C-alpha cells in the first residue's frame, strides 16, 4: 500500500513526505523488525527520545478507529503539503563573497547548531555539485550511491529523471558526524573495490576525530584494495578544494556554491534554523575583490 499507492499519489500531488526512493521506507532504522519497542535503542543513546516518540505515536495509533485513522492521515498530509509549498528559506543570498568568507561560513554552519550530519551532507553535496555539475548521485534517488555511502559521482552527466542505477561511478563519498576509525575506512574501501570504484571521499566532522585513525585507514585501504580515499576533517578545506577543481571561473564559483548548498539543505529537510543560519553567515562576509580570494589557497 505504501509503495504502490501512498508514495506515488504524494509525488503526483506535490506532497513532500521526506522520502524520494522507489522503496519509500527501506531506509528506516527499524525496517524489517517484527516489533518496534524501546529496547531497540539503549537508554543513553541520543536517538532514544526519537524512538520513545515513535513508540508513543504507534501506541496512540493502535487505539484509533478506522474513521479516526483517516482523519489522522489527512492531518499528516495537510502538514506535509504546507511544508512542501513553503520550501526552503527565501532569504536573498549575498551578491558578493570572498572565498575566505565562504569557507568561514561553511565551517560555522557545521560547527554550530543541531543536525551536524545532515548539514555536512548538504555542504558536501553542494561542493560536489560545484565541482561535478549534473554528475552527483545521492542516496535518496540512486541505489548505487546508497550502496556506496551518501553520494557518488557519475562518469557521464545524469539525464533528467534518471535514477542512476546503471551509471558508471568514478567517486564515492560519505559523511560522518561521529568519530571514524580505521576499520570503517577499510570497509568503505572494500565496498568501493567490489563495485569497481577507485576513488573515495570521506568527510569526518567530529571534533573528537583521531587523525591517526584516519591516516591508518587510508593507508590500509590503499595497500589492501588499491583505492584512493581522501579524508576531509575541515569544511573550509573542502570548500577550497571544490572551488579549485571546479571548471567555473572563480567569481562564478563564489556565486553558485551558496545557492547549491541552500538547495541541498532543502532536499535534506534541514530545518529553518539551518537555512537562516546559512544565509546569515554568508551575509556577514564583507565582500572583496574576487581575484584576491585564491591567495590563501597558496599561502600568500
Residue 62's domain comprises: 2-86
> 25 pLDDT exceeds 80?
no
Q: How confident is the model at residue 295 (pLDDT cuts 50, 70, 90)?
A: very low
Of the three residues 24, 59, 86, the one that is the final residue of a domain is 86
Q: What is the pLDDT of residue 103?
A: 96
102: Cβ contacts below 8 Å, ≥ 6 apart = 239, 243, 254, 257, 258, 282, 285
Q: What is the pLDDT of residue 194?
A: 95
CB atoms within 10 A of CB 191: 18
Together in a domain, 184 and 278? yes
- Mean pLDDT across the stretch 152-168? 74
Together in a domain, 6 and 153? no
Together in a domain, 62 and 116? no
3-state secondary structure of 64: coil
Together in a domain, 48 and 130? no
- Mean pLDDT across the stretch 110-121? 88
Report the domain count for the chain.
2
More confident residue, 38 or 128: 128
118 lies in a domain? yes
More confident residue, 292 or 179: 179
92 lies in a domain? no
**Taking phi first (over 0 means left), then psi (-120 to 50 degrees means alpha), and beta for anything else, what does residue 171 get?**
beta
> 150 pLDDT exceeds 50?
yes
The C-alpha torsion from 24 through 16 and 92 to 249, rounded to 10°, is 30
Mean pLDDT across the chain, nearest whole number? Answer: 82
How far is it, in rounded angstroms, from Cα 285 to Cα 263? 20
Cα–Cα distances (Å) from 181 to 58, 155, 186, 204, 278, in that order, read 36, 29, 9, 10, 30
> 297 pLDDT exceeds 50?
no
Together in a domain, 15 and 74? yes
More confident residue, 71 or 136: 136
Together in a domain, 67 and 195? no
Beta strands at 228-232 and 136-138: parallel, antiparallel or unpaired: unpaired
Together in a domain, 289 and 237? yes
- Mean pLDDT across the stretch 5-12? 68
How far is it, in rounded angstroms, from Cα 300 to Cα 294? 9
* pTM of structure: 0.69
More confident residue, 130 or 75: 130
Instruction: Dump strand ranges (E) for 130-184.
Output: 136-138, 151-154, 169-176
Q: How confident is the model at residue 53 (pLDDT cuts 50, 70, 90)?
A: confident
93 lies in a domain? no
Together in a domain, 38 and 9? yes
Of the three residues 86, 116, 138, the one that is the final residue of a domain is 86
Instruction: Write out the H or E segment, with its range, that includes residue 261.
Output: helix 250-267
Together in a domain, 235 and 170? yes
Together in a domain, 80 and 136? no
- Mean pLDDT across the stretch 141-167? 78
189 lies in a domain? yes
pLDDT digits (tens, 9 = 90+) for 222-276: 999 999 999 999 999 999 999 999 999 999 999 999 999 999 999 888 888 899 9
Q: What is the pLDDT of residue 161?
A: 53
Q: Among 16-20, 22-26, 57-61, which range has the highest average pLDDT?
A: 57-61
Q: What is the pLDDT of residue 246?
A: 96
Q: What is the pLDDT of residue 170?
A: 96
Of the three residues 86, 112, 131, the one that is the final residue of a domain is 86
Together in a domain, 269 and 171? yes
91 lies in a domain? no
- Mean pLDDT across the stretch 137-165? 79
Together in a domain, 122 and 15? no
Long-range contacts at 79-88 (CB < 8 A, ≥ 24 apart): 80/10, 80/15, 80/16, 80/17, 80/18, 81/13, 81/14, 81/15, 81/16, 83/16, 84/14, 84/15, 84/16, 85/14, 87/266, 88/262, 88/263, 88/265, 88/266, 88/275
26 lies in a domain? yes
Which segment of 128-132, 210-214, 271-275 scores lowest on mean pLDDT? 271-275
Q: How confident is the model at residue 137 (pLDDT cuts 50, 70, 90)?
A: very high
Q: In which order are the strands placed within the sheet that holds 169-176?
A: 136-138, 151-154, 169-176, 199-204, 228-232
More confident residue, 109 or 14: 109
Q: How confident is the model at residue 16 (pLDDT cuts 50, 70, 90)?
A: low
Q: What is the pLDDT of residue 88?
A: 47
Amino acid at each position: 500500500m505504501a509503495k504502490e499507492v501512498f508514495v506515488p499519489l504524494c509525488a503526483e500531488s506535490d506532497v513532500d513526505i521526506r522520502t524520494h526512493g522507489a522503496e519509500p521506507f527501506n531506509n528506516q532504522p527499524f525496517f524489517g523488525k517484527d516489533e518496534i519497542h524501546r529496547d531497540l535503542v539503549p537508554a543513553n543513546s541520543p536517538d532514544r527520545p526519537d524512538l520513545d516518540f515513535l513508540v508513543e505515536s504507534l501506541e496512540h495509533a493502535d487505539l484509533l478507529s478506522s474513521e479516526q485513522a483517516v482523519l489522522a492521515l489527512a492531518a499528516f498530509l495537510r502538514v506535509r503539503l504546507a511544508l512542501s509549498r513553503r520550501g526552503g528559506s527565501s532569504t536573498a543570498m549575498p551578491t558578493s563573497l570572498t572565498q575566505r568568507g565562504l569557507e568561514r561560513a561553511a565551517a560555522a554552519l557545521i560547527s554550530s547548531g543541531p543536525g551536524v550530519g545532515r548539514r555536512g551532507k548538504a555542504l558536501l553535496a553542494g561542493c560536489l555539485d560545484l565541482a561535478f555539475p549534473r554528475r552527483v548521485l545521492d542516496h535518496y534517488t540512486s541505489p548505487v550511491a546508497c550502496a556506496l555511502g551518501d553520494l557518488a559521482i557519475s562518469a557521464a552527466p545524469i539525464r533528467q529523471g534518471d535514477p542512476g542505477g546503471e551509471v558508471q561511478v568514478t567517486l564515492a563519498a560519505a559523511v560522518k558526524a561521529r568519530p571514524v576509525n580505521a576499520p570503517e575506512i577499510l570497509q568503505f574501501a572494500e565496498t568501493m573495490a567490489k563495485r569497481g570504484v577507485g576513488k573515495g571521499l570521506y568527510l569526518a566532522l567530529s571534533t573528537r576525530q583521531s587523525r591517526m585513525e584516519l591516516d591508518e585507514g587510508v593507508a590500509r585501504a590503499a595497500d589492501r584494495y588499491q583505492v584512493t580515499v581522501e579524508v576531509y576533517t575541515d569544511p573550509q578545506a573542502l570548500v577550497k578544494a571544490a572551488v579549485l577543481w571546479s571548471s567555473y571561473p572563480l567569481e562564478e564559483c563564489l556565486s553558485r556554491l551558496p545557492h547549491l548548498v541552500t538547495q541541498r539543505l532543502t532536499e535534506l529537510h534541514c530545518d529553518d534554523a539551518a537555512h537562516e543560519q546559512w544565509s546569515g553567515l554568508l551575509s556577514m562576509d564583507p565582500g572583496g575583490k574576487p581575484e584576491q580570494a585564491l591567495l590563501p589557497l597558496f599561502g600568500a
